[in-house]
Structure 1
Amino acid sequence: MPCYDKKLEASRDDFFNDVLKTRDVDCVLTTNEVQQLFEEYKVDFKICEMEEISSMFTKAGLNSSLNTILYNSKGSTSGGYLLFVMRYAAKVIFNIELTEEEIEFGSEKISIEPGRNNDQKSVSLLGKNGEVLLKFGYAYGFRNIQNLVRKIGEKKRSFRRKTEVNDFNFVEIMACPSGCINGGGQLKPFFITGGVENSSSTPASKEWICLTEKYYFNKNIYFQSPETNSSIHELYKHWLHDDKNRIKEKLHTSYHVIEKLEENGLTVRW
């Protein structure tokens, strides 16, 4: 994973099976830790034997020429949640078809409102008369998250005073500025001196993030929508047996109140 928060998530009691006395996830490795393991054990990929890639739980597959290819999801470099959820909601709730390009660049049906920086913006689905049907947003980095939470709080107070408000229906939130592509567990920037690569301990620069995004959206990587992924259909059919209750139990997120920390992270000034 590109994020250290997954380690914390895996350690929560929510993901511990009391019957089997085991955790859902035994170990979480970040991208940077995997690289460190390769370096520690002196793994040389040039001499490693080729092995077939399992396609069940990876983004690997075969093209028409039976060559191994990598799949990616469209949208942000943090998984494309906003794009997928917005397209799905527009279709199911309002029977409106949206393309990835409309959500990314805007159209007659989509209004995009930039934020104060590149890590925040709102995307609204518009009705025939220009009314807002759905409002989605991005907020990356704790400062932007903090501002968003404050804004929502102010709107709730305005609602109590019976003034018009327009809250978000869905927000794609990531703790790291620039999202998961700049996660704390990601590979560190490197530089070359005397023909030797050296890792840098300094935070990733804008140039490094742009370079990473370039590879993320590489033209040689195929894009696939989740609903067209045959592995997901197999998961629903053979493991969950298309049982709605089992699907909700195993795949749907639930929320509950947890014990508050001594200091609320959203009140910290970043």
Structure 2
Amino acid sequence: MLASACPGWICYAEKTHGDFILPYISTTRSPQQVMGSLVKGYFAQQQGLSPKQIYHVAVMPCFDKKLEASRPDFFMKEADTREVDCVITSGEVLKMLEQEGLSLSDVDPAPLDTMFSSVCGDDLLRHAGSASGGYLHHVYMHAAKQLFGVEVNDLTYKVLKNNDFQEVTLEKDGDVVLRFATTYGFRNIQNLVQKLKRGKSPYDFVEVMACPSGCLNGGGQVKPLPDQSNKEVLQKVQDLYGAEQAQAPEQEERVAELYHTWLRSVGEGRARELLHTQYHAVEKATNGLAIKW
């Protein structure tokens, strides 16, 4: 199975490898689009509003998230509205503040909103995982426990060709029973795809991200200052992200509450629609200028 949270990777797979690669990609929606279902569905209902009365803005580290939000699959036909109306990158937020002559350091802090959020006092909680907040960590631990009865507390990654291509394995009775990998950046993605085509990929699950170093290095992130390097800024962001408390999703009370109050109430079929999506192979357009006469 290949992870599905990165829209740049999804776009590449749909346009370049079509029906061959798409069956391997998880149908799970990205966090942005799960929140789209939640805001325009459950939240709208709780507030006594129609989905169209809510304008849902997502702040993301990635320009491709704008394309994701515009996919026809995420348009609510009956309500005549998108699940995510607008995506603004973190870099664009900074530009908007600069245009208004504002600095975040000059603004009085407000309490964190606890609705649908993992908040502990004044601190945000993150789920354990990579610099992209991907699913590999959780899927690995869950699979180890459910399939092989092994409790895993920490994951030890092995760097392969480069830091953006790492693997983690689970051994039992001397045999490797699980083999997962993180594959970031298109150079590594292309190598993975070639292995899949040759039937030589040894992995059970791969967390795929288009950007080298993952989402913390996304194209929409805040850019370095003139006296900073990309490497310095990335390291600082990684340190800040890693300093946040981590919590497993199944330990989050609000997640459990949503399963009971929202997803079970709509039924299994509708719940699947709200949490999953589908992919579409894109036919290559014939361009007369590209034909070698």
With the length of structure 2 as denominator, give the TM-score of the two structures. Answer: 0.71
Q: Which has the larger radius of gyration?
A: 1
Q: Aligned match of 2:169 in 124, 146, 157?
A: 124
Higher fraction of helix: 2
Structure 1, unaligned stretches of length 5 or more?
A: 63-67, 106-111, 156-164, 193-199, 264-270
Q: Aligned match of 1:246 in 251, 270, 275?
A: 270
| Equivalence map 1:1-270=2 (5 Å) | 1-62=60-121, 68-99=122-153, 101=154, 103-104=155-156, 112=158, 114-128=159-173, 130-155=174-199, 167-191=202-226, 205-218=230-243, 221-241=244-264, 243-251=267-275, 253-262=276-285
Structure 2, unaligned stretches of length 5 or more?
A: 1-59, 287-293
Aligned residue in 1 for 2:12: none
Count of residue pairs the alignment pairs up? 226
Most deviating of 222-231 and 21-30: 222-231
For residues 59 and 41 of structure 1, the distance between their equivalents in structure 2, rounded to whole angstroms, comes to 30
Provide the alpha-carbon RMSD of the alignment. Answer: 2.2
Give identity over the alignment, percent: 40
For residues 167 and 260 of structure 1, the distance between their equivalents in structure 2, rounded to whole angstroms, comes to 29
For residues 182 and 46 of structure 1, the distance between their equivalents in structure 2, rounded to whole angstroms, comes to 23
Deviations 1:209-234 (A, max 9, x none): 2222112212xx22111111112112
Structure 1 runs of 4+ aligned residues shifted over 4 Å read: none
Deviations 1:231-266 (A, max 9, x none): 211221222236433332211x33333323449xxx
Q: How far apart are 1:117 and its partner, in Å? A: 0.6
For residues 25 and 238 of structure 1, the distance between their equivalents in structure 2, rounded to whole angstroms, comes to 22
For residues 205 and 28 of structure 1, the distance between their equivalents in structure 2, rounded to whole angstroms, comes to 24
Flag the structure with more relative contact order, 1 or 2, with Cα contacts below 8 A and sequence separation at least 6. Answer: 2
For residues 9 and 46 of structure 1, the distance between their equivalents in structure 2, rounded to whole angstroms, comes to 32
Q: Quick one: which amino acid aligns to residue 190 of structure 1?
A: L
